[in-house]
Amino acid sequence: VSEWTFGNLGQRPKLAEALCRKGFSFSIQGEDRKAIDYFRRATEEDPQDPAAWSGLGSCYAGLDHPEEAVTAYRLAVEAAPQDPAAHFHLANYFGRIGRTEEAIAAYAQAIAINPQFEAAHFNLGLLLVREDRLEEGRRQFEAVTRLNPEAAPAFFNAGIASARMGRFEESLAALREVV
């Protein structure tokens, strides 16, 4: 009995992982309706798996079911509150559906957990600039360029934000980095 118990410990997470792989394969092919079934089963097998909840959220987003998507993404965050990717996915979706302040808060949380999260800094910068919060956006792009001096899109967007603020020398310096 002890050998069987030891051998079967963690089977639920393993099953959830297999279900997620199957769900992702359908989702990548654009078959979100089929994928939802696998992600739902994965969340039942392992309710603490943020990938299963995020996958479910992605499918609901693809099917244009915003409330279900937000709920699933929030459950991913609840399952793994210290996982910056869970906050990032929630932020991306909030940004997509126009819930800007919630998106900004979720990106900020992802960055607080992992200050090296380049994509979170970049996406937050885009959102802030779009909201005409130019200085804040420029600072996010500069954070990206400190993390990755080869990040031409971040230099470009920092240059655009600086130009919109009338800081043309800064803008030119950033745009030179792009070149």
Query: Residue 159: what residue type?
Result: G
Q: What is the CA radius of gyration of the chain?
A: 20
d(CA 54, CA 133): 29
Residues with Cβ < 8 Å from 23, sequence gap 6 or more? 35, 36, 37, 38, 39, 42, 52, 55, 56, 59
Tokens of 126: 């885009």
C-alpha distance from residue 88 to each of 17, 33, 170 (Å)? 21, 23, 29
CA angle 119, 100, 78 (to 5 degrees): 70
Residue 13 in this model has a pLDDT that exceeds 70: no
pLDDT reported for residue 10 = 47
- The string of pLDDT tens digits covering residues 78-136 is 999 999 999 999 999 999 999 999 999 999 999 999 999 999 999 999 999 999 999 99
Contacts of 11 (CB under 8 A, 6+ apart): none
Q: What is the pTM of this model?
A: 0.86
> How far is residue 179's CA from residue 174's CA, in Å, rounded to a whole number?
9
pLDDT (tens digit per residue) in 61-81: 999 999 999 999 999 999 999
Task: Determine the 3-state secondary structure of 2 from DSSP.
Answer: helix
The pLDDT assigned to 2 comes to 38
